[in-house]
Structure formats: C-alpha cells, structure tokens
C-alpha cells in the first residue's frame, strides 16, 4: 500500500483544491460537479469515489479551511502584543489567507436555509459561534487589561464578526491593497469606538 495510496491522496487533494476555488468564486449551488470534473480532469465517478456527495465535499472543505485558519493564527498570534495589534493581524490573515475569504460566500447560501436542516447549515452555525467566541475572548482580554473601556464583550464580539463579514463583502471586488486599507480603517474606527480614554 504505497504507490496507489499516494496517487489517491493526490487526486483527492486536487479535487478538493479545485472545488474550493470554484465554491469560493461561484458559490455552492452555482458550482456543478461537472465543472469540478472539467477543472480536475477526474471523472464524475471518481469524485464520488473520494467524497460521499457534493454536500460531503463542501463539508470537508469547511472543516479543512477552519482548521487551517486556526493553525495559521496560532503560529502568528505571538507576533502581536496588544489586542489592537492582534485585530490588525487577524484582518491581515483574513485578507492574505485568501482575498475573498474562501467559503464565506458559499456559507452565505446556507446561513438562512430553512430547508430540511442540512448538515452544512449546522456546521456553519457552529463555525460562526466559534468565531464569535474567539472574538469575545480577545476583546475581554483587552477590556481586562484596560486597553478597552468595559462594555458588553459578547455583543462587541458579534459586532466585530459582523464587521469582518461586511468588510469581506465590500472588498470582494478590489485588490489586496485596497482591501487591506479598508479593513485597517474599519478596525481603526471600531477600536476608536471602544478604546479606553484617559480623559
């Protein structure tokens, strides 16, 4: 079990990468298996050999994406000292990781899905909850250390998450540099709005 397993993993990766790119660009529904076939050269049957279904493929990508994001962040977190700097660092990672926040767009499609509770909606809800919790801890630390004025960290965390979502949306049609500026300004405003004032 060597040559075959290796080859197999390579094609699975190729399919996953192509699907990720397509889902990011076109959304979930708008991306067809046929397009993934064309992008990879693999056959339809082969895709279904490696992944249970289209939904399963998407789920796989979400998990992978989120894990990777967390790994990347943990590697970089120590580079930033203040919570302020960390926020800027997060924005930078969001933009650089992939300008268009890979699956955010596709995620939008499921965010409001009253259909027969697909697994995907559940998973995305969980991801958002994790993000908010992540933000909350970050902000709470800033508050505790006197960097920010004491406020409802939970609500601020939701606002911050929304701000990121909104900025991602607004910067989809610009280049990296402009996106960076926009995120930076947005965080500036946000921080300025919650900063502890010595007056």
Partner DNA sequence: GATAATACAAAACGAATGTTCAGTATAAAT
Partner DNA sequence: ATTTATACTGAACATTCGTTTTGTATTATC
Q: How far is CA 22 from the centre of its chain?
A: 15
Vertex 14, ends 120 and 5: CA angle to 5°? 100
Of 21, 27, 39, 46, the residue at the interface with DNA (CB under 7 A) is 46
- Token pair 């926009």 is at which residue? 182
Cβ atoms within 10 Å, residue 51: 21
Out of 12, 14, 26, 123, name the contact with a second copy by CB under 8 A. Answer: 26
Selection from DNA, a second copy, none that 166 binds (CB < 5 to 8 A by kind) is a second copy
Residue holding tokens 């992978």? Answer: 64
Contact residue for a second copy among 86, 105, 136, 143 (CB under 8 A): 105
**Tokens read off for 136:** 């909350």
Residue 27, interface with a second copy (CB under 8 A)? yes
Q: Could you give the C-alpha distances from 138 to 10, 76, 87, 156, 161, in angstroms and in order?
A: 38, 15, 9, 11, 12
Q: Provide the minimum distance between the beta carbon of 78 and a second copy in the complex, in angstroms, as a whole number.
A: 28
Q: Which tokens in the block code for residue 34?
A: 């046929």
The 112-141 contact track toward a second copy, x by CB under 8 A, reads xxxx--------------------------
> Closest Cα partner for 27 from 129, 110, 97, 96?
110
Q: Minimum distance from CB of 56 to a second copy (Å)?
A: 19
Encoded one letter per residue, x for contact with DNA by CB under 7 A and - for no contact, window 55-94 reads: x---------------------------------------
Applying CB under 8 A, the residues found at the interface with a second copy are 25-27, 29-30, 100, 105, 108-109, 111-115, 152, 155-156, 158-159, 161-167, 169-170, 172, 181-182, 185-186, 188-194, 199
């Amino acid at each position: 079990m060597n040559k075959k397993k290796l080859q197999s993993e390579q094609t699975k990766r190729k399919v996953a990468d192509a699907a990720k790119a397509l889902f990011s660009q076109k959304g979930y529904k708008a991306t067809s298996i046929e397009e993934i076939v064309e992008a990879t050269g693999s056959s339809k049957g082969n895709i279904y050999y490696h992944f249970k279904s289209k939904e399963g493929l998407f789920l796989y990508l979400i998990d992978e994406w989120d894990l990777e994001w967390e790994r990347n962040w943990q590697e970089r977190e120590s580079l930033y000292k203040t919570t302020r700097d960390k926020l800027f660092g997060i924005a930078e990672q969001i933009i650089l990781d992939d300008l268009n926040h890979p699956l955010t767009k596709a995620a939008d499609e499921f965010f409001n899905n009253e259909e027969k509770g697909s697994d995907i909606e559940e998973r995305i809800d969980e991801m958002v909850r994790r993000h908010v919790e992540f933000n909350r801890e970050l902000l709470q630390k800033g508050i505790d250390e006197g960097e920010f004025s004491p406020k409802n960290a939970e609500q601020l965390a939701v606002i911050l998450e929304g701000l990121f979502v909104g900025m991602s949306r607004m910067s989809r049609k610009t280049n990296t540099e402009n996106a960076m500026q926009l995120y930076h300004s947005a965080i500036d405003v946000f921080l300025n709005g919650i900063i502890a004032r010595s007056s």
